[in-house]
Structure 1
Amino acid sequence: MESMEAVRRLMDLRHSGRAEDLPSVLAAAAPLLGAHSATVLLADYGQVALHPLRTAHQNSEGLAVDATAAGRAFTTSVHQWHGEFLHLPLMHGAERFGVLQLRMIDSPGEPVLRDLEIIAALVAELIAGRRFYGDAVEHTRRRLPMQLAAEIIWNQLPPLTYALDGTTVAAVLEPCYDVGGDAFDYAANADVLHLALFDTVGHGIAASALATLTLNAYRNARRSGLSLLDTCRSIDKWVRAQYPRAFVTALLAELDMGTGLYRRISAGHPAEILLRDGRVLPPLPTPGTLPLGLGHMIDRPPRVDEIALEPGDTLVLYTDGITEARDAAGELFGPDRLAAFLRDTLAQGIPAPEVMRRLVNTIVSYENGDLRDDATAAMLRWRTVNPSV
């Protein structure tokens, strides 16, 4: 396998290529990789299928994430064989893009397989670096028209997954093409992981505009070095000043990744679910203050709650669109069903981003594919034995 020549051709895209140039470069480089063909398959926004990277004028059927070898490579982050096809996960850090599908000439040995994994990592880096210079990645990922409110929110968000030294954050939003009022953010600075989840009042453009202000007020406070308490006060001030008839429920949290000390403020928001050693622990107290924008209505400061996490602990933050999902009979999904789902799924050793994908698919199915409200969740795991989960 002439893998270095393939690397050189791919590296030529780093400074002058676009994401949509990848398919032709990979097609020409496939024989150098010991393959008849090489195809980039990207996950759609709903993470239900993997589709070939395309331009605006191309289309093709995708491979289902569930029950296919390509899907197993995506959900497990481990290469998979199916007949003559080798599927390698495309990951940028902990963020899952999709898979690289190779139709191999012969079965590769371990040294060649390791080279191919490096090639897949390079392809993922190229997608991450070049996707903003054109719309090919977005054309591929979108299977339905995206509403403007959702466009605004998605353009504000960080990657869905982050991992560092056993600490993992994984998030999901649904309905992915029409979300408007929910948002999340995180940042790792030195030993502190900052995490926030927001649920704005209303829907559509108005809600997405309020979410945009809230997100950026949070980032501004965080980047200005404000404490958790002053961050809450700052966002509350800006929401009230710009949207005096609106409010935002929120969880604002900080995790000391060295010690496991978790500090948070619940501003009218549902309490996190805390899981430890396969058990669901009692929820943290909530709320600690009124929703953001309404803080002037009480004369006491927001309460900061603290808990010492233990290695392997999992916290799940969520908006009420998760627990207030209703089935055909009108029964709520509820926090107990949510906690049971998380406990049972984590017990299987499933990676955090895959737990979140399955959760949102469960919520969508529970409401028969028609969500009444935005459903957003973020999982925080600290010092897992296997950082990939």
Structure 2
Amino acid sequence: MEAVRRLMDLRHRGRAEDLPAVLAAAAPLLDAETATVLLVDYGQVALHPLRGTTLDTATALPVEGTPAGRAFTTAEQQWLDEGGGGVLWLPLLHGAERLGVLEFRIKAHPSDAHRLDLEVIAALVAELIASRRFYGDAVEHTRRRMPMQLAAEIIWNQLPPLTFAVDGTMVTAVLEPCYEVGGDAFDYAANEDVLHVALFDTVGHGISASALTTLTLNTYRNARRSGLALADTCRSIDKWIRAQYPGAFVTGLVAELDIATGAYRRISAGHPPELFLRAGRALPSLPTPNALPLGLGHMIDRPPRVVEQQLEPGDTLVLYTDGITEARDASGELFGAERLSEFLLDSLAGGIPAPETMRRLIQAIVSYEDGELRDDATAAMLQWRRR
């Protein structure tokens, strides 16, 4: 309880960078030699000691091929025996969002009760990181492994956490190139029984694209919070884009899922159809598009059409931008929707959690284009389980 009290003191008068010192002082109270926070970088490639860590033993650890990485990817604790004592890695989860891992060096093999106590500490540390991160830049300094372009800075500051879960339903997303993205974005919100999800792909790149994306995201949120229906939401976004950026446009998927019943409704504004996966196979795509790209809706005298689909428990929908399917290898061959579908089906069949599936997907896309993406690549996975 003394360790908990010391950590709780940070809620009111502490910064994220103060956390390593408090943990180091609290480690003996937890029957541990050291306690170290390791946060995942923006590319989700490695786990790095939180800024402010002074331990000589604290080093970055790859996500691939390490026990720390397995704790992160599986969201399950990992133990490495070193002859009596060893190292315990616990996932740092803020809700369903994976922040990194908490590493404990322990003199003796931990009992089940000891592990449970350390899980409570890990949960508290995750909450402290999530709440303290906005009062300084320690978390950002830790997660960034190269300079972030201004356009990407603007976009990341607009986005919700990559992963969210409620009542067994999950939405999880990825964006790449994470330090240069400017035209792609996603959003979601859970209100009562409705999960709102949107994915946008803005024409252009750089600051101009990020400014248009910012307008699109905030107009979408304003319409959603004003209680507008899907069609009226698209009309509102279309109106504001046309007023502020004449001639520009944004493609997008704007959707609603009834968490209780699995009723899915969406509008595709010039956007590729989502992948529809059920029981280990890909089902035919939903009709698309149902409207012109946002900003060009005035060209036809017809309101956006809403497509409805009844989901079954376990169904998965994957929304993506064309940067995913139009990725090219050295020979110029497209990654394509079929390859994307096969990748996702194989991953889900292997029991890979949704957030880890998306992390592996974006790594596969980057590798397919030999590390140099030609376009922003964004995807969001929506999985429905009956309440």
With the shorter chain as reference, the TM-score category is: over 0.9
Q: Provide the rounded CA distance (Å) in 1 between the counterparts of 2:282 and 2:54.
A: 49
State the Cα distance separating 1:55 from its structure 2 match. Answer: 4.5
Matched, 1:194 2:191: no
How far apart, CA to CA, are the structure 2 residues paired with 1:111 and 1:220? 47
Tell me which residue corresponds to 1:219: 221
Corresponding residue of 1:62: 60
Q: Distance in 1 between matches of 2:167 and 2:276?
A: 20
Q: Distance in 1 between matches of 2:160 and 2:14?
A: 24
Give the fraction of aligned pairs with identical amino acids, expressed as a percent: 76
Partner of 2:368: 366
Contact conserved, 1:254 with 1:264, CA < 8 A, in 2?
yes
TM-score, scaled to structure 2: 0.97
**Structure 1: which 4+ aligned runs deviate by more than 2 Å?**
55-61
Output the CA distance in 2 between the equivalents of 1:196 and 1:49.
Answer: 29
TM-score normalised to the size of structure 1? Answer: 0.97
Q: Report the Cα distance in structure 2 between the residues aligned to 1:198 and 1:35, rounded to whole angstroms.
A: 46
Aligned equivalents of 1:354 and 1:257: distance in 2?
23
Distance 2:87 2:53 in 1: 27
- One-letter amino acid matched to 1:160: L
Q: Which residue of 2 aligns with 1:232?
A: 234
2:138 aligned with 1:136: yes
Alpha-carbon separation, structure 2, partners of 1:363 and 1:166: 28
The aligned counterpart of 1:38 is: 35
Partner of 1:14: 11
Find the aligned partners of 2:42 and 2:288 in 1 and give their Cα distance: 32
Change (3 A) 1:58 1:249: farther
Instruction: Give a deviation string over 1:353-380, Cα, whole Å, max 9, x none.
Output: 0000000000000000000000000000
Contact 2:176 2:378 in 1 (8 A): yes
Partner residue, 1:77 = 75
Q: Which runs of 5+ in 2 are unaligned?
A: none
**Secondary structure class of the residue paired with 1:335:** helix
Structure 1, unpaired ranges of 5+: none
8 Å CA contact 1:55, 1:140 repeated in 2? no
CA distance in 2: counterparts of 1:67 and 1:106, whole angstroms:
25
Secondary structure of the residue aligned to 1:27 is helix
Note the 1:152-163 alignment, pairs <5 A.
Answer: 152-163=154-165
> What RMSD in Å do the two structures reach over aligned CA positions?
1.4
- Give the equivalent residue in structure 2 for 1:111: 113
The equivalences for 1:92-107 within 5 A come to: 92-107=94-109
Number of corresponding residues: 382
Q: Would you say the 8 A contact 1:158–1:186 is kept in 2?
A: yes
Structure 2: distance between partners of 1:118 and 1:277: 36
CA distance in structure 2 between the partners assigned to 1:273 and 1:58 by the alignment: 46
Does the CA contact (< 8 Å) of 2:50 and 2:142 recur in 1? yes
Match among 46, 49, 66 for residue 49 of structure 1: 46
Q: In structure 2, do the counterparts of structure 1 residues 58 and 331 end up closer, same or farther at CA, with 3 Å as the change threshold? A: farther
1:302 counterpart residue number: 304
> Alpha-carbon deviations, 1:243-292, whole Å to 9, x = none?
00210000000000011000000000000001000010000111001000
Structure 1 counterpart of 2:255, one-letter code: A
Instruction: For residue 107 of structure 1, report the CA deviation from its aligned partner.
Output: 1.0
Equivalents in 2 of 1:138, 1:158: separation in Å?
A: 15
| Aligned twin of 2:148 | 146
